[in-house]
Amino acid sequence: MTVRDLPPVSDLTEQQQRGWSCVWCGTALTVGEDQDLGEKRARPEGGAAYSWFPRACSDTAACARREQGQAL
Ligand SMILES: [Zn+2]
């Protein structure tokens, strides 16, 4: 599986940082219907490093469509 580069953690919602919502499209995730992208380390400028746990939709095609349809 190819993992895309993740968006900067500072651009994500708390739900996305905690793995409750898809890191790409922001949809709320259901256990078993998502993919674990593994533990990531973030180091905010001037702050302490911490771990976060991105998750994403298992249906990447549907996820990409949702992401494109999203007006940010
Ligand atoms: Zn998604």
Sequence-separated (6 or more) residues with CB below 8 Å from residue 50? 41, 42
Q: What pairs with residue 57 in β-bridges? A: 34
Mean pLDDT taken over the chain: 89
How close is the Cα of 9 to the center of ligand 1, in Å?
Answer: 16
Q: What is the pLDDT of residue 7?
A: 87
Q: What percentage of the chain exceeds 90 in pLDDT? A: 69
pLDDT at residue 26 is higher than 70:
yes
How close is the Cα of 64 to the center of ligand 1, in Å?
Answer: 7
**Average pLDDT rounded to a whole number, residues 30-34:** 90
How close is the Cα of 23 to the center of ligand 1, in Å?
Answer: 6
Structural domain boundaries in the chain? 12-69
